[in-house]
């Protein structure tokens, strides 16, 4: 079946949705819900998956975009979680999304604030992390091992570091997504290619074990979706659909810096947080040249907002930590944008930073299975566990999960023809820019073919995104409005000035 999502397919499938009884209804299309839709559809089950807003509307687009090897969990003695992370990272790098996940180098600068003993402890941790990589059978050519490097080499990889008192740096590697929202889009499209109905702008108003009352947010009309089993994958909003669940979200803020703000930064940075022995701020160079700086971990009390805001105290805190290692300190005016996300943590005692990042499955009295917690890296495992649970509950008679080796849309060889018409039309269109390959994988040629058809579509917008990519997102990636285009299919919207500049192009793409 076709993997393309668009307004026409949504209308068609929405019209059918009320008449069917599906095996699995998935509520929420973040990484977890889109993963669950794919897991169920690839076992041959009939699936409808809905989101109140858009693909990747929630926490899944506010992450640090890291595919973790689990080192942090190892440091806390959570060996099983750490191993699970390393295994899932290996699957993404090798089988499921090698186009979207890359190895990212990080430097921990050895400044006077880092003692010799602290450096030795961190290096031991990195070596244990490399052991996890080996245990997960991820080859070193995909993720090199850690090393101590000289001050000169550190400055060649990260020119903005202050040379004063720099003794060198600890170099380590981990996985990084080109863009977290693109992972969710790829999951949803791959699920759609296996027959799942992916319906955005459909809000579950009430859930029961045999379906949901749903409102089409575009028309306001309400209808029922009937299902043999129901998965609640609404993350930080899960308690709104199951009052027995108690969430205790924690806020993580990132700064967004424009490409010219830290010139010569070719590696990420782990910057020790003053006064904390095992917490680091992250400096994360992005493929589009922007740099994210994160991340806070603060309890977020009160009602859960649709889009969390980054408070000024978080911005000041992150700038302060970053400036502790820079040659030329940055000021508030250098911060081009900010974003904040809420971690979907289950309520338990202790500080949120110490709560387990393991995921949980909770079955309500009416039989709704809520899957919550975890992290982006382990979405596949969470999805597998949730679908195993509903298969057993609903006696659905499906086999085990098939997703560990199931390539996501775009994971094939670059010139492989896909199911979409532009892919079949690909002829020789010249060398593909790395940027397109990293975002579209095997579909890069098809995106490029759009530009060959209409050279006006090759015009670049902020962050280098072309108009062709916006048109592609409307035709194949389920983008329904300018917000979908600028805030989720691309991340132009993270910088308000860039968003304003690209708005006319987004409107034009919707009408193209």
Q: Give the interface with ligand FAD as residue ranges (CB under 6 A).
A: 27-33, 50-53, 57-60, 62-66, 68, 203-204, 233-237, 241, 252, 295, 341-344, 374-377
Question: In angstroms, what is the C-alpha Rg of the chain?
Answer: 22
Return the number of the residue (166 or 192) whose C-beta is nearest ligand FAD: 192
Return the number of the residue (343 or 476) whose C-beta is nearest ligand FAD: 343
Return the number of the residue (58 or 268) whose C-beta is nearest ligand FAD: 58
How many angstroms separate the Cα of 417 from the Cα of each of 434, 439, 468?
19, 17, 18
Helices (H), 217-327: 238-241, 312-323
Within 10 angstroms of residue 79's Cβ, the number of other Cβ atoms is 12
CB of 81 to ligand FAD, least distance (A): 12
What gap in Å lies between CA 408 and CA 450, rounded to an integer?
A: 22
Of the candidates 58, 479, 375, which has an alpha carbon nearest to the alpha carbon of residue 234? Answer: 58
Do residues 47 and 21 touch, judged by C-beta distance below 8 A? Answer: no
At 392 the three-state DSSP class reads: helix
CB of 54 to ligand FAD, least distance (A): 7
CB of 377 to ligand FAD, least distance (A): 4
Q: What is the DSSP string of 319-355?
A: HHHHHTTBSS---GGGEEEEEEEEE-PBP-SS-GGGS
Return the number of the residue (75 or 417) whose C-beta is nearest ligand FAD: 75
CB of 89 to ligand FAD, least distance (A): 9
Strand 47-50 relative to strand 21-27: parallel, antiparallel, unpaired?
A: parallel
CB of 425 to ligand FAD, least distance (A): 33
Return the number of the residue (155 or 183) whose C-beta is nearest ligand FAD: 183
CB of 156 to ligand FAD, least distance (A): 26
What gap in Å lies between CA 93 and CA 258, rounded to an integer?
A: 28
What gap in Å lies between CA 150 and CA 128, rounded to an integer?
A: 22
CB of 200 to ligand FAD, least distance (A): 9
CB of 20 to ligand FAD, least distance (A): 18
What gap in Å lies between CA 162 and CA 114, rounded to an integer?
A: 14
> Can you read off the two tokens belonging to residue 164?
């004063």
Return the number of the residue (52 or 494) whose C-beta is nearest ligand FAD: 52
Return the number of the residue (110 or 382) whose C-beta is nearest ligand FAD: 382
Return the number of the residue (114 or 346) whose C-beta is nearest ligand FAD: 346
What gap in Å lies between CA 67 and CA 129, rounded to an integer?
A: 13
């Amino acid at each position: 079946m076709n993997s393309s999502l668009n307004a026409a397919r949504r209308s068609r499938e929405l019209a059918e949705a009320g008449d069917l009884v599906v095996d699995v209804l998935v509520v929420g299309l973040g990484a977890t819900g889109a993963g669950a839709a794919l897991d169920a559809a690839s076992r041959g089950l009939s699936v409808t998956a809905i989101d109140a807003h858009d693909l990747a509307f929630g926490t899944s687009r506010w992450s640090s975009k890291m595919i973790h090897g689990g080192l942090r969990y190892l440091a806390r003695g959570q060996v099983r979680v750490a191993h699970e992370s390393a295994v899932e990272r290996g699957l993404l790098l090798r089988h499921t999304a090698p186009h979207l996940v890359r190895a990212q180098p990080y430097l921990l600068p050895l400044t006077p604030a880092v003692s010799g003993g602290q450096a030795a402890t961190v290096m031991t941790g990195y070596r244990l992390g490399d052991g996890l990589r080996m245990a997960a059978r991820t080859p070193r050519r995909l993720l090199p091992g850690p090393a101590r490097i000289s001050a000169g080499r550190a400055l060649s990889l990260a020119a903005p570091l202050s040379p004063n008192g720099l003794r060198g740096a600890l170099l380590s590697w981990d996985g990084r997504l080109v863009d977290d929202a693109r992972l969710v889009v790829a999951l949803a499209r791959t699920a759609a290619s296996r027959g799942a109905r992916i319906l955005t702008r459909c809000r579950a108003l009430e859930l029961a074990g045999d379906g949901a009352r749903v409102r089409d947010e575009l028309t306001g009309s309400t209808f029922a979706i009937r299902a043999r089993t129901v998965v609640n994958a609404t993350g930080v909003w899960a308690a709104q659909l199951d009052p027995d669940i108690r969430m205790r979200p924690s806020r993580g803020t990132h700064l967004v810096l424009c490409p010219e703000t830290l010139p010569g930064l070719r590696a990420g940075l782990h910057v020790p947080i003053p006064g904390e022995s095992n917490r680091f701020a992250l400096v994360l160079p992005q493929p589009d040249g922007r740099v994210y700086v994160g991340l806070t971990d603060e309890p977020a009390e009160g009602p859960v907002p649709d889009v969390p805001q980054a408070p000024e105290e978080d911005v000041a805190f992150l700038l302060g930590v970053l400036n502790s290692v820079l040659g030329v300190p940055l000021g508030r005016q250098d911060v081009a944008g900010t974003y904040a996300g809420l971690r979907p943590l289950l309520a338990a005692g202790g500080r949120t930073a110490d709560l387990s990042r393991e995921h949980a499955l909770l079955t309500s009295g009416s039989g709704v299975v809520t899957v919550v917690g975890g992290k982006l890296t382990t979405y596949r495992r969470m999805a597998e566990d949730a679908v195993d649970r509903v298969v057993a509950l609903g006696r659905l008679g499906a086999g085990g999960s098939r997703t560990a080796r199931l390539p996501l849309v775009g994971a094939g060889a670059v010139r492989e023809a896909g199911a979409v018409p532009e892919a079949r039309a690909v002829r020789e269109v010249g060398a593909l820019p790395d940027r397109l390959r990293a975002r579209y994988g095997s579909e890069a040629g098809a995106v490029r073919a759009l530009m060959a058809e209409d050279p006006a579509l090759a015009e670049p917008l902020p962050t280098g995104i072309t108009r062709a990519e916006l048109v592609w997102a409307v035709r194949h990636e389920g983008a329904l409005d300018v917000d979908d285009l600028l805030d989720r299919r691309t991340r132009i919207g993270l910088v308000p000035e860039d968003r304003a500049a690209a708005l006319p192009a987004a409107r034009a793409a919707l009408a193209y």
